[in-house]
Structure 1
Amino acid sequence: MVFSDVHVSEDILHFIWRFRLFRQLLLLTSKGQSLRILQPGILNEDAGPDFHQALILLDGVYLYGHIEIHVAAKDWRLHGHSKNPVYNTVMLHVVWNGDEPYCLEDGSEIPTLRLCELIEEKVLLNANRLLQNINSIPCAYDFDNVPAHIQYQVLQRTLVERFESRYMQVLEHLKETNGDWERVSMVLIAAAFGMKVNKMAFIELGMLLNINLLKKFANKPTIIHALFFGQAGFLACGFERDPYVQCLKKEYQYFAKLYQLPQMSIYQWKFMRMRPANFPTFKLGQLAALFAYNRSWFAWLTTTESLAEIRNVIALVEVPEFWINHYHFKKETVVHSTAISDDFFNLLVINSFSLILFAYGKYVGDSNLIQRALDWLEQVPVESNRIVAIYRKLGFSMQSAMDSQAVLQLQKEYCEKKRCLHCGIGASIVKGI
């Protein structure tokens, strides 16, 4: 079969092999050996042969091992596989075209299967149209034809991938803190308060804060706030006209000297092009109030069943009166609320509370904690942002933050990277189903 103006890549061939989108009856190798593909194997995305744990029947003999795929048969030689012992377990060379024989390290020749005569042209045309599409969502042109159950399966998969990816980040924090879940929880909650712009600065502060002091002075909120703002570097700036600020500075100077507390530079914090309610100083005031109210959020989150109970408790958190007419230390503003809003509470659930539950549940093997984390996420409304709006307009059905988190993972790891052939939606379009 001859294809004109159709691009064939290894990625496309991997996809075709993985989903068996080729004629499978009466297969013959380039040497005329009969061949049946019983198991195509598992795609290997690391170094080494392309598919592991494959099972074939070659001239009546069962073979179990690896399969290597190339566009041209000569690529085996060009890539140096015949001199690489990693490829000694390859039992079948699958190529688009070419019949150049190739050998393993010991000189033995391995059978070759050519796909160019076994594939329908529409499969390659569908793959090319999808992969060559320049839209930010390559599959948008045919999304209406993707069955609802496939969309659902994709979101289920990407949600799990997102949690697994974030779990690996939690493990890094655990390593840095010698397994201190209380510290890790503080870091995750602080990161949520930093949002995108000040996330890294809040994480650094979470690592710096002296948890033992916070616990020791749990019933003295002024000292708690002094420690937060002092170690963040904001009490070294000379804003001393207000009695509240003077008090914070006096408290912090005493404890900083007594306990040799390290502190950040004020230049690590960003204010530019931000809404005042998201200024790091205002968010620090709320965060400090949170830890002044509860000395151990990790213990409480992992033992509390009801998300509504957590919401009610956070509504009781009191931020110092100073912040009613301030967003930073420099000047007064009109009076505004200091309460943690419902929208921000939802972000805390998404970015810290549910993550803490999931990560700890996975770490200790407690499926109940993992399920509770997912249940909490399901109780939070769909996030409102540009990316979610784009996918909603495309036709994705989203009912809760579980779905919007899945969509964010889909955009980041698949659409943006054009990994369409690794996505169930892309696979559906290429297959024409």
Structure 2
Amino acid sequence: MLFTEDFLHYLWKFRLFDNTDLKTVDGEVIHIYSAGIHNTHSGPDFSNARIRIGDTTWAGNVEIHVPSSDWRKHNHANDEAYKNVILHVVYRDDEPVITADGNKLPTLELENRISPDLYNRFHSLVYGNQTIIPCEGSIGLIDDMTLGTWLTRVLVERLEKRAETVIKALDQNRGDWEETFYQFLAANFGFKTNALPFEMLAKSLPQNILAKHKNNPLQIEALIFGQAGFLQGDVVDEYPKKLKTEYDFLRKKYNLTPIENHLWKFLRMRPQNFPTIRLAQFAALIIKSNHLFSKILDIREVKGLRDLFTEIQVDPYWEEHYRFDASSKPSSKNLGQSSVDVLLLNTLAVFLFSYGKHLQLEYYISRSMKLLESLPKEENNIINDFDVLGVKVKNAFESQALLELKNNYCNFKKCLQCGIGNKILKLA
């Protein structure tokens, strides 16, 4: 048989081996009261197990190996972390294990206790020639409850990882949620292609400076376009001339240094997505909503959150321009529905979750989940592949979960750590 220790961990954790007449390799009767808690970090594989061996009931750790000789190869005998191991569980006992105190470690051999059918299902998952995901031939058999429960769990894992990034930035901003939200929102206004210069812009232009000019839209626009590096050279049209005049004054007042203009990318982009248009939209949002994160915390309905972004109005200049001093056919430059959905998904949902997690307020975590449930599913190759396999995705809650599942479980064939993989292995 070809398998890893993970498979033995799985068998031990769920006791999916022949449990009749269990004995050590030396003939002592074994009774398992508790298999212990699976340890995915350093140290013994299972902690706090409770097992009777012979006439004695032991409480301690369980170590698992494919051959028993791995104990020696891994130098466990000289590691203090392994001194409380009460049972060695192995596929094959190829040599006795002697502990540091000179005693022979009780060993349970599983070589003849593993169902061939269970092994074949495991082998098919982990070593098969699937093209999309390891369980692509079986995922359609999974019941909705199992699938839904596991998707919820991996979605939480995804949000927790994102929350770690938010909290790290929060610490750098000395606990200022408004400033941290402003920086992340700016980065997401870059929609991947221009995320970096948008983030650099926000960090070079603190929100408290913008707040001082909340009643002067022209000055806010001047600060944003100026710090983005678009007001460095000569301009012709009246609107950018006004911006440049204001920025030249404000730059000296606040000792500002603009970011390099060459960082912004225009190539192979639809004009509607040009960074100049995104900057105009970002400025319009800042003008409309001071202390934006506080407003988001107070707005309970998804429609209210959406209205924050759909009702912003860019300066009329942009209705006939995509760049400064280059006129175009008139068109609306306000944020489209799909762009709003991306911002709600990548910024608002993440920050509601992070805020709730950090302050242990379940209400905001629940709001984050409900927001994702209200948003349409994402359209990409991964979601399309799951659709082909019969997994019908209804909303962003499910599409985000499937992205996490594919990228952090399926791609690494972590089927034994996956609720779906576990269910497939248990199918009769």
TM-score, length of structure 2 as denominator length: 0.95
Q: Distance in 2 between matches of 1:262 and 1:55?
A: 64
Q: Determine if contact 2:121/2:425 at 8 Å carries over to the other structure.
A: yes
Identify which of 83, 98, 101 aligns with 2:96. 101
Aligned: 1:223 with 2:219: yes
| Distance 1:37-1:257 versus aligned 2 partners, 3 A rule | same
* More divergent stretch after superposition (205-214 vs 342-351): 205-214
Match in the other structure for 1:294: 289
**SS at 2:121 equivalent:** helix
Question: 1:133 & 1:332 partners in 2: Cα distance?
Answer: 58
Q: Which amino acid aligns with 1:193?
A: F
Contact 2:236 2:325 in 1 (8 A): no
SS in structure 2 of the partner of residue 38 of structure 1: strand
Show the counterpart of 2:188: 192
Which residue number in structure 2 is paired with residue 139 of structure 1? 135
Do the aligned partners of residues 260 and 132 (structure 1) sit closer, same or farther apart at CA in structure 2, a change above 3 Å counting?
same
> Match of 1:263?
258
- Contact kept, 8 Å, 2:221 with 2:243, in 1: the verdict is yes
- Where 1:70 maps in the other structure, the secondary structure is strand
| 1:200–1:55 CA distance, 2 compared to 1 (3 A) | farther
Q: What corresponds to 1:3 in structure 2?
A: none
Describe the shift of the 1:260–1:70 C-alpha distance in structure 2 as closer, same or farther (beyond 3 A). Answer: same
List alignment gaps of at least 5 residues for structure 2: none
Offset at residue 330 of structure 1 (A): 6.5
Q: What is the distance in 2 between the residues matched to 1:17 and 1:273?
A: 54
Shift of 1:313: 3.8
Match of 1:163 among 159, 166, 170: 159
Q: Number of residue pairs matched?
A: 427
Match of 2:52 in 1: 57
The 8 Å contact of residues 15 and 421 in structure 1, kept in 2 or not, is answered as yes
Structure 1 residues 176 and 140, CA, compared in 2 at 3 Å: closer, same or farther?
A: same
Distance in 1, Cα, partners of 2:325 & 2:51: 73
Per-residue CA shift, 1:353-412, capped at 9, x if unaligned?
122212112222222222122222222122222221211221223222111111111111
Distance in 2 (alpha carbons) for counterparts of 1:73 and 1:400: 48
Distance 1:342 1:113, change over 3 A: same
- For the pair 1:174 / 2:170, whether they are aligned, the reply is yes
Q: Indicate the residue corresponding to 1:316 in structure 2.
A: 311
Which of 278, 283, 297 lines up with 2:273 in the alignment? 278
Label 1:332 to 1:259 Cα distance change in 2 as closer, same or farther (>3 A): same
Partner of residue 146 from structure 2, selected from 147, 150, 161: 150
Give SS of 1:234's match. coil
Output one character per residue of 1:193-252: Cα deviation in whole Å (capped at 9) or x when no partner.
Answer: 12222223322322222222211101111111111122222322x251222222222222
Give the partner amino acid of 1:362.
K
User: For residues 191 and 108 of structure 1, do their structure 2 counterparts lie closer, same or farther at Cα, with a shift above 3 Å needed?
Assistant: farther
Match for residue 427 of structure 1 among 417, 422, 428: 422
Tell me the SS of whatever aligns to 2:354.
Answer: helix
For 1:290, what is the secondary structure of its paired residue? helix
The structure 2 residue matched to 1:17, chosen from 12, 25, 33, is 12
Structure 2 counterpart of 1:228, one-letter code? I
Is residue 87–residue 104 contact of structure 1 (8 Å, CA) maintained in 2?
no
SS at match of 1:140: coil
CA distance in 2, matches of 1:325, 1:108: 85
CA distance in 1, matches of 2:98, 2:370: 54
In the alignment, the residues of structure 2 paired with residue 158 and residue 370 of structure 1 have an alpha-carbon distance, to the nearest angstrom, of 15
Q: Does 2:379 correspond to 1:380?
A: no
* 1:29–1:298 Cα change, 3 Å: same
8 A contact 1:76–1:82 mirrored in 2: yes
Q: Is 2:125 the partner of 1:124?
A: no
More moved, 38-47 vs 179-188 = 38-47
Displacement after TM superposition at 1:190 (Å)? 1.4
How far is the alpha carbon of 1:334 from its aligned partner? Answer: 2.8
Aligned to 2:343: 348
Distance change in 2, residues 1:396/1:281 (3 Å): same
Contact in 2 for aligned 1:24/1:37 (Cα 8 Å): no
Q: Which residue of 2 aligns with 1:233?
A: 229
| Partner Cα separation in structure 2 for residue 299 and residue 108 of structure 1 | 64
Of stretches 162-171 and 256-265 in structure 1, the one that deviates more from structure 2 is 256-265
SS at match of 2:235: coil
RMSD between aligned alpha carbons?
1.8
- Distance in 1 of aligned mates of 2:203 and 2:304: 28
Q: Determine the structure 1 residue equivalent to 2:412.
A: 417
C-alpha distance in 1 between matches for 2:109 and 2:307: 65
> Which of 302, 308, 332 is the matching residue for 1:337?
332
* Equivalent position to 2:107, from 104, 112, 115: 112
Relative distance call for 1:23 and 1:310 in structure 2 (3 A) is: same
Q: In 1, are the aligned partners of 2:128 and 2:134 still within 8 Å (CA)?
A: yes
**Identity of aligned pairs, percent?**
37
The code of the aligned residue for 2:126 comes to L
Structure 1 residues 136 and 329: alpha-carbon distance in aligned structure 2, compared to 1, 3 A threshold? farther
Q: Distance in 2 between matches of 1:382 and 1:338?
A: 24
Amino acid at match of 1:154: W
Distance 1:70 1:387 in 2: 35
Deviation at 1:301, TM superposition (A): 0.4
Residue 189 of structure 1 and its aligned partner are, at CA, apart by 1.3
Is this contact kept in 2: 1:82–1:105, CA < 8 A?
A: yes
CA-CA distance at 1:50 after TM superposition: 1.5
Q: Shift in Å at residue 99 of structure 1?
A: 4.1
Instruction: After superposing the two structures, state which structure 1 stretch, 344-353 or 304-313, moved more.
Output: 304-313
Q: Check the 8 A contact 1:324/1:337 in 2, yes or no.
A: yes
- The structure-2 alpha-carbon separation of the partners of 1:346 and 1:239, relative to structure 1 and needing over 3 Å to count, comes to farther
